[in-house]
Amino acid sequence: MFNLDERYRGLPATREQILALHTSLNAPHVAIPGKQAGPSQAFVVGLRGGQGAAVFVYLYLAEAEDCAVYLSGRRNMTADEYRDDESEALAFVESLGFMMDDANWRAQPAEQQDELLKTLPVFFKDPKQVPAVKARAEEKKNVTTTLGRFLAAF
């Protein structure tokens, strides 16, 4: 059973900590309690930490510049328990309408892994710091500034 944990805003990790990464192929409209509903991306991430392995479900709400992180709460898992949690996490996000794809993290070259760590929202501490969100905010600022200058010319 995966439960929403408001303490998490992202899952910053190193390449070595990531056991598995699954990403959504689609962006269904999702309503999460206490969050603005809208199209979302899903990520299922297996991470190794100081207290053992854990499986996380990260839902990224791009329009709201927000996220929701779900976890099973189980740590120090055996390999079988980890696989069970990973399967349960995938079933959970698929029940929300996501079609998931295994990113084959371990088969990716180090350069590709580094690129994913720099671009996927799941690996940022704050969803507002995702490069695409920052670029959109800068674009809005530039449009406003340009419009202001245009109107001031008259």
- The DSSP string of 106-129 is GGS-HHHHHHHHHH-GGG-SSGGG
The tokens describing 9, both together, are: 């805003």
Mean pLDDT of 139-149: 48
- Give the side-chain half-sphere CA count within 13 A for 92: 23
Paired with 53 in beta bridges are 48
pLDDT in tens, 44-66: 999 988 778 889 999 999 888 89
Which has the minimum average pLDDT: 28-32, 48-52, 55-59, 89-93? 48-52
Which residue from 96, 99, 79, 97 is spatially nearest to 19, judged by alpha carbons? 79
Residue ranges covered by each domain of the chain: 3-152
Nearest to 45 by CA among 131, 110, 121: 121
Residues near 89 by beta carbon (within 8 Å), at least 6 away in sequence? 2, 44, 55, 56, 57, 70, 72
pTM of the model: 0.82
CB-CB contact of 122 with 44 (8 Å): no
Burial of 138 (0-12, 13-18, 19+ CB in 10 A): exposed
Of the chain, the end-to-end C-alpha distance in Å amounts to: 61
What is the percent of the chain where pLDDT is above 90?
A: 53
- How many CB atoms are closer than 10 A to CB 27? 16
DSSP letters spanning 46-93: EEEETTEEEEEEEEEETTTTEEEEEE----S--HHHHHHHHHHHHHHH
Average pLDDT, the chain: 84
Question: Which pLDDT band holds residue 132 (cuts at 50, 70, 90)?
Answer: low
